[in-house]
């Protein structure tokens, strides 16, 4: 069975603000893509993301982007031992009654191998950090990832 994980967190901002923090490359680049992001996340578009800890921009093909609800994309799995294949990442945004936003990130599709398992754990850590970084940026203007890597 392929590996899948889900992480979630609450951000004390309205759903449209939180959605834009992922969809808008200018905002995403301030707290997550430490090497920058190019292109707005829209259905059918391939954007480019770069991270200081993984130098070199790489493509992120957007499968679905529904404002204020969901962003789905696929990207190449990082376990080279199993050959190239994609995993699927789904962001779901849900407004709460008290004005916060629940962000749930699911990533699925790693091969059922030792390399696939190891890569899934690494990405699970990365998405958990992304949620923390998003919360700190949107609520307090603090970039948690600055200087975190290299």
- Give the CA count within 13 Å in the CB-facing half-sphere of 131: 21
Q: What is the pLDDT of residue 102?
A: 98
Domain boundaries, the chain: 3-140
Rounded average pLDDT over 51-79: 89
Q: Could you tell me the fold of the domain covering 3-140?
A: Alpha-D-Glucose-1,6-Bisphosphate; Chain A, domain 4 (3.30.530)
Pick from 108, 49, 31, 41: nearest CA to 69: 41
Token pair 């990365």 is at which residue?
126
CA distance 33 to 50: 6
State mean pLDDT over 68-84. Answer: 84
pLDDT tier, 11 (very low <50, low <70, confident <90, very high otherwise): very high
pLDDT of the residue at 143? 92
Q: Which two tokens stand for residue 117?
A: 């398992």
**pTM score:** 0.93
């Amino acid at each position: 069975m392929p590996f899948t994980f889900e992480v979630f967190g609450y951000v004390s901002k309205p759903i449209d603000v939180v959605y834009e923090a992922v969809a808008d490359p200018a905002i995403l680049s301030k707290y997550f893509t430490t090497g920058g992001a190019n292109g707005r996340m829209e259905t059918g578009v391939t954007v480019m993301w770069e991270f200081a800890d993984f130098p070199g921009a790489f493509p992120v093909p957007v499968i679905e982007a529904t404002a204020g609800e969901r962003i789905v994309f696929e990207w190449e799995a990082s376990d080279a031992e199993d050959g190239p294949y994609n995993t699927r990442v789904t962001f779901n945004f849900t407004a709460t009654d008290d004005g916060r936003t629940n962000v749930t990130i699911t990533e699925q599709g790693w091969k059922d191998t030792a390399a696939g398992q190891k890569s899934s754990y690494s990405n699970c850590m990365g998405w958990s950090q992304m949620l923390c970084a998003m919360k700190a940026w949107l609520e307090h203007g603090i970039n948690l990832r600055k200087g975190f890597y290299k």
